[in-house]
Chain A
Amino acid sequence: MSLEKNQVDAIAQLAGLSVDATESEQLTEKLSNVLGIFQQMQAIDTDGIEPMAHPLDQVQRLREDRVTETNHREAYQSIAPAAENGLYLVPQVID
């Protein structure tokens, strides 16, 4: 199975990644190779095998519902590209 360049562009768009034409070509080839591996795996008969959610055979550890985190807004916002009135600022999302 091979990917088309426009599929790679669509994936980049979904992930919010900026990919130029050259990169897009290279990625198309690389990702197609990865998909080839998946295709080999698809050929394996998995009927009756329970899907594995995690390679560790363990169950989720739980946390008490207790506040353990304190406010460090200033420290976090000091490394943000833009912040004002306590809000992180990003380029306008909708028009």
Chain B
Amino acid sequence: MKFTRGLKDGLPIALGYVSVAFAYAVQAVGQGFPPWFPVLVSATNFTGTGQFAGTNLIAAGASIAVLIATMLVINIRYTLMSFALAQKMGSGFPLWQRAILAFGVTDENFAVAIRQPQKLTFSYLIGLMSCSFCGWLGGTALGAGVSELLSAALAGGSGQAYYDMLMSALNIALYAMFVAIVIPPSRDDLKIFLLVAVSVGASCLFYFVPVLAALPAGLDIILCSVVCTAVIAYFFPHAEEENTAAPPSDDNANSDVKTAGRHGDFTTNSDPGNGKGGAL
């Protein structure tokens, strides 16, 4: 398990990240943030959904408590992934290595790492994570730079109308990506469909009912997602395979890795249950 092997495995993830990070940066600059801000956030966070929600909250002037709580809700899944990863890594990793590797835990890096049949090494994981991180950071810088150039080139005069249209159109980029993450698994799993439907309903309530809409920004995400997920998880617990070491689940895992790499999504439409099952 060499460093170069990690780089190679990280390349498809990096390519997927470029487009997501690009969309994130465009959105942030469109909200009025200076171009260095999304780059700084990408450099320090390395998480798609969390950065997007956090940046929106900062733009909306949300309180620190709401920001912390929202980030916690959105990122709590990493705790489980890191846990599964820790099991697979075993005890051969000193604390400082674990501290570095923790930063690189994302849905895709996790999905690829957890499915390696060989023993994981520090150099392999560093190769994998640094490669995808470069895609993430590069995509953000590219998006921020392009936004600035476009606004400079098209500002004022007749170009302004086209610039506004383009920025308006780019605003939908990340939302559309999120739709593409949620819809396919909703087709396959009735429980996920139900969860998504209930969540959308709750979210609409918080958006359209004046009393609820007046609540601090971000609170809707926390309340709706935690309550809906708690209810669905209680009544329709997710069925996990007890033993996924058998070859059929390996095939499944491999195709999931390809999916994750191609799409570069941050919330695993590849089934994290498979990966965890294999590790635990």
Q: Do A and B bind each other?
A: no
Which residues in B have some Cβ–Cβ distance to A below 8 Å?
none
Which residues in A have some Cβ–Cβ distance to B below 8 Å?
none
